[in-house]
Chain A
Amino acid sequence: MLTKALPHSFRGRLVVAAAALLLTLPVAPSAALADGTLTIGRPADVSAMSVFSHSTIEDEIVHPMLFDTLVYGSKDDPGYVPGLAESWDFDSASNSYVFKLRANAAFSDGSPVTAADVVYSLSAAKEKSQNYKGMLAGMTAAEAVDDHTVKVTLAGPDNIFMSGLIWVYVLPENMNGKDADAFFAEPLASGPFALDAWTPGSSMSLVRNPHYWNAAETGLDRVDMKIIQGDNERLAAFQSGDIDIYENVRFDFIDQIPEAQRHIVSPTARTMFLFTNNYKPPFDSIEARKALSYAVDRDAIGEALWPGLSVPVQGMLMPGTTGAVPADAGSWDFDLETAEAALAASPTPKPEITLSAAYIRGVDEVLVQAVQAQLQDAGFQVTLNVSDFNTILGQVLNGEFDVWLLGNTTFGTTVAEMFAFYGGAFGPLGGWDLDALGGALEKYLVAPDAAGREAAVRDFENMMRETFTAVPIGHPDTVFAIADGVEGFETLPTTAYRLDRISVNR
């Protein structure tokens, strides 16, 4: 029997079907092409929309765009420039500031930003802000003088208050009668942008706020932020043109970014360190922490993993911030024998520990495994717990961690902010000596001059280093990749940048 050939009509139908299938495949919209739109690829989402919760660098890029502040951070001394407050006067006799607000400031619904809103925002921040309330501790009263004038009275001399204002976000008075959850679910913006869409952990879009007082100088119509966790995937997105700004370029990938597109923040006001849980074994023991510290070969890590891209370990307070001085007591040397001896002397000579890490802010696969190996060499049994940043942060906030390897970037331009932050956030979480820390902070706040502030900082650094309270490794730089045509991108050593200064010109 002869077999029939495939009927002709049948073959034809197959071709048509295949073509139809191909044509119906959705074609992804090309996001970054539209003019006035900037697309950012970043490793983590904001930790929360609420400006009162614990804060990360992502928050510090997004929040100031949505919520205006009295002053803006600046590279130049004293570290801040006029923002919503166009000017201010300080009266040293009464320790009070009088701020003059921009007359044309308005929320994204068009209603004016008034002195009452600012007074409310100041007191709300002092009361609720996890990160920044310490910086407002010296504020005793805030009152509206008239619609556009605010008077703030301080308890006494205060070296932290003004730079703290960089992080006092202006919300409508009483959040328009809503509770915080409801308000931040649909926030009313006072900054250069308003929230357009947000899928937590995935993407966020901002649109230009036409009512912002300086809207004429906002360079972008729209900002799309994509959360792309993987180092490889983020590089891919940049190389294929899906994103214009590629945050947190892995050090081993720098060669793959054309030199003209590299933006290296050097030094970055960042400390890479091992944050130990000093409440529970093994790191409740100073011997175990000493072993941890002596087990880390900081010079090797700096030389091999961050070649020419780091500042050698200086302290917990970062270089690149005004007032950072190194400790002059104790030691952060690497010495395996000392490490082994200290571990043998600790209550848990063969500790099994979990090393938590998220691949963000200078932490990558190679660094984590290098640290893991160095700790193993000293006798620690180390299991890795690698996840996304907000997961790890959640675990740490609940106290369920042994040691967290993280690159902590300051949010201010002087040591003051981080100083207060260690006291308010890391210290209580890690079980640090809060009395010693508070003493040093107090001394810093009231110091009459730079030398006095320096002494206070040194007290703190010495205390950290002598008791191995936390184990710094170094101060790696931050690398961004910026697509051609993106103009006005400028970072502080904190790595924060203002989106409203950026424009695209393709």
Chain B
Amino acid sequence: MTRSRYILKRLLQTIPLIAGIMVLVMLLLHVVPGDPARAIGGMAASDETVEQIREELGLNRSFVAQYIAYVGNALQGDLGISTRSRQPVTEIIGERLAPTLWLLTAGMILSIVLASAVSVLAARNKDRAADYALGGLTVIGLSMPAYWVGIMLLLLVALPTGAFPISGFGKGFWGHLNAIILPALTFAIAISPVMIRALRAKLVALYRNDFVMMSRAVGLSESTILARHLSRHAALVLITMVSVQVGPMIFVGVVIEKTFALPGLGQALVNAVAQRDFPVVQGITLTTALFVTFVHLGADIFTSFVNPRTVLE
């Protein structure tokens, strides 16, 4: 199979997937025990209010009709209107996007840096004290809840130094940057352990390879070996890990936004949940699911360039 055919195939596969995602997002409203309109309005809502909600959400039509309407509107960028603020859902998402993108971008960069550094250090010192210590830390890192890590960073870093805001998104570019450091670090501590495990294993295997031995024999320095020979493999592992981990990353992002009171999509989601604002919950869920799908797609396409063998398989 050629690369372009592979990419085309992956693109086409995405279409039924997105259709399926939308079914699940629609189903959210229907798994509500009892009458969803009643659940949204609250037990106290009058019959007229409930009827109005039912009308608005199209609940009095068949599921198929609702689905077609939802997909049709979504394609035109209309994800409905918040039952609470009457604001279009897409507008809410637009307003809340910036802090979330900042957090994900900065967190991802920091995760990759941290994971690479620790993995190289561990793999070079395989079966020595440093490797065991880092391995132990990785296991502990896997077992810490992200929000708690964030709170501990506030306690141990932000409060004593006073250099970082306790919460909020700051003002202006530098304010945002300063405000995002601790959340991004929290993100990295939560996300990198899984990356470290995969990357260390790959590096250990590579170090055993003949070509590394050979390079050492011809006198290349360790950093040259790393840069020349291992970076491509490492990049592949990292891309795969980002692709696999993107789902958990988004959840970690939601939790971190709550911890640091960042006014992002995650906070909007949690607020919408508290207010039983279904259109907003559905819209944000759909947005994150689409993001995940495109990251998967992007990672596969990227991999097909770096490692053409995947195309053949």
Contact present between A and B (CB < 8 A): yes
B167 touches A400 (CB 8 A): no
C-alpha gap A303/B274 in the complex (Å): 31
Q: A236-B261, A239-B165, A399-B44 are in contact. Are A33 and B231 (CB under 8 A)?
A: no
- Chain A residue nearest in CB terms to B271: A229
CB distance from A187 to the nearest CB of B (A): 17
Let me know if A387 is at the binding interface, CB within 8 A. yes
* Complex partner residue of A398 from B45, B165, B267, CB under 8 angstroms: B45
Let me know if B98 is at the binding interface, CB within 8 A. yes
B166 touches A202 (CB 8 A): no
Q: A21-B105, A28-B98 are in contact. Are A5 and B232 (CB under 8 A)?
A: yes
Let me know if A93 is at the binding interface, CB within 8 A. no
CB distance from B101 to the nearest CB of A (A): 5
Mark each residue of chain B from 223 to 256: 1 if its CB lies under 8 Å from any CB of chain A, else 0: 0000111011101000000000000000000000
A394 touches B44 (CB 8 A): yes
B44 touches A401 (CB 8 A): yes
A232 touches B261 (CB 8 A): yes
C-alpha gap A4/B166 in the complex (Å): 46
In the bound complex, residues from chain B placing their C-beta under 8 Å from that of A25 are: 98, 101-102, 105
A400 touches B44 (CB 8 A): yes
In the bound complex, residues from chain A placing their C-beta under 8 Å from that of B160 are: none
C-alpha gap A236/B171 in the complex (Å): 12
CB distance from B90 to the nearest CB of A (A): 14
- What size tier do the contact residues of chain B reach? 35 or more
A387 touches B275 (CB 8 A): yes
A236 touches B42 (CB 8 A): no
Q: A27-B98, A232-B261, A387-B275 are in contact. Are A240 and B165 (CB under 8 A)?
A: yes
In the bound complex, residues from chain B placing their C-beta under 8 Å from that of A229 are: 271, 274
Mark each residue of chain B from 142 to 179: 1 if its CB lies under 8 Å from any CB of chain A, else 0: 00000000000000000000000111111111011001
Let me know if B63 is at the binding interface, CB within 8 A. no
B168 touches A237 (CB 8 A): yes
Name the interface residues of A396-424: CB closer than 8 Å to any CB of B.
396, 398-401
CB distance from B153 to the nearest CB of A (A): 15
Mark each residue of chain A from 9 to 51: 1 if its CB lies under 8 Å from any CB of chain B, else 0: 0000000001001100111101001000000000000000000
Name the interface residues of A163-207: CB closer than 8 Å to any CB of B.
199-202
Name the interface residues of A208-258: CB closer than 8 Å to any CB of B.
229-230, 232-233, 235-237, 239-242
CB distance from A9 to the nearest CB of B (A): 12
* Complex partner residue of B275 from A4, A30, A388, CB under 8 angstroms: A388
Q: A229-B271, A236-B261 are in contact. Are A5 and B171 (CB under 8 A)?
A: no
C-alpha gap A6/B306 in the complex (Å): 8
CB distance from B92 to the nearest CB of A (A): 8
Q: A5-B229, A391-B275 are in contact. Are A398 and B171 (CB under 8 A)?
A: no
Name the interface residues of A402-458: CB closer than 8 Å to any CB of B.
none
- Chain A residue nearest in CB terms to B166: A239
Q: A236-B166, A237-B168 are in contact. Are A395 and B42 (CB under 8 A)?
A: yes
Let me know if A2 is at the binding interface, CB within 8 A. yes
CB distance from B94 to the nearest CB of A (A): 9
- Chain A residue nearest in CB terms to B167: A236
- Chain B residue nearest in CB terms to A397: B44
Which of A18, A27, A235 has the most CB atoms of chain B within a 10 A radius of its CB?
A: A27
Let me know if B211 is at the binding interface, CB within 8 A. yes
- What size tier do the contact residues of chain A reach? 35 or more
Let me know if A3 is at the binding interface, CB within 8 A. yes
In the bound complex, residues from chain B placing their C-beta under 8 Å from that of A260 are: none
Let me know if B85 is at the binding interface, CB within 8 A. yes
In the bound complex, residues from chain B placing their C-beta under 8 Å from that of A400 are: 42-44
In the bound complex, residues from chain B placing their C-beta under 8 Å from that of A199 are: 85-87
Q: A27-B98, A200-B85 are in contact. Are A240 and B42 (CB under 8 A)?
A: no
In the bound complex, residues from chain B placing their C-beta under 8 Å from that of A4 are: 232
Mark each residue of chain B from 259 to 291: 1 if its CB lies under 8 Å from any CB of chain A, else 0: 011010001000100110000000000000000
A5 touches B167 (CB 8 A): no
Let me know if B109 is at the binding interface, CB within 8 A. yes
Let me know if A304 is at the binding interface, CB within 8 A. no
C-alpha gap A33/B169 in the complex (Å): 15
Let me know if B97 is at the binding interface, CB within 8 A. yes
Let me know if B84 is at the binding interface, CB within 8 A. yes
In the bound complex, residues from chain B placing their C-beta under 8 Å from that of A233 are: 167, 261, 263, 267
Let me know if B52 is at the binding interface, CB within 8 A. no
In the bound complex, residues from chain A placing their C-beta under 8 Å from that of B45 are: 394-395, 398
Q: A3-B233, A240-B167 are in contact. Are A30 and B172 (CB under 8 A)?
A: yes
CB distance from B273 to the nearest CB of A (A): 11
In the bound complex, residues from chain A placing their C-beta under 8 Å from that of B166 are: 236, 239
Let me know if B73 is at the binding interface, CB within 8 A. no
A28 touches B169 (CB 8 A): yes
CB distance from B213 to the nearest CB of A (A): 12
B170 touches A3 (CB 8 A): no
A202 touches B261 (CB 8 A): no
Let me know if B310 is at the binding interface, CB within 8 A. no
C-alpha gap A164/B229 in the complex (Å): 83
C-alpha gap A396/B233 in the complex (Å): 62
C-alpha gap A239/B260 in the complex (Å): 12
Q: A3-B211, A395-B42 are in contact. Are A235 and B167 (CB under 8 A)?
A: yes
CB distance from B229 to the nearest CB of A (A): 5
B168 touches A240 (CB 8 A): yes
C-alpha gap A237/B274 in the complex (Å): 20
Let me know if B46 is at the binding interface, CB within 8 A. yes
In the bound complex, residues from chain A placing their C-beta under 8 Å from that of B271 are: 229-230
- Chain A residue nearest in CB terms to B232: A6
C-alpha gap A236/B274 in the complex (Å): 19
B211 touches A2 (CB 8 A): yes
Mark each residue of chain B from 191 to 207: 1 if its CB lies under 8 Å from any CB of chain A, else 0: 00000000000000000
Which of B44, B87, B97, B170 has the most CB atoms of chain A within a 10 A radius of its CB?
A: B44
B109 touches A18 (CB 8 A): yes
Name the interface residues of B176-196: CB closer than 8 Å to any CB of A.
176, 179
C-alpha gap A4/B306 in the complex (Å): 10
CB distance from A40 to the nearest CB of B (A): 16
Q: Which 10 A-B pairs have the closest CB atoms?
A: A400-B44, A395-B44, A240-B168, A236-B167, A236-B261, A201-B85, A236-B168, A5-B228, A398-B44, A30-B171
Additional A-B contacts beyond A27-B98, A27-B173, A395-B43 (19; CB < 8 A):
A3-B232, A5-B231, A5-B232, A6-B235, A21-B105, A28-B169, A28-B171, A30-B171, A199-B87, A229-B274, A236-B166, A239-B166, A240-B165, A387-B42, A388-B274, A391-B42, A395-B45, A399-B44, A400-B42
Enumerate 21 A-B pairs (CB-CB under 8 Å) in ascending A order. Answer: A6-B231, A6-B232, A25-B101, A26-B97, A27-B98, A199-B85, A200-B86, A201-B85, A229-B271, A230-B261, A232-B167, A233-B261, A236-B166, A236-B167, A240-B165, A240-B171, A240-B175, A387-B42, A391-B42, A391-B275, A395-B44
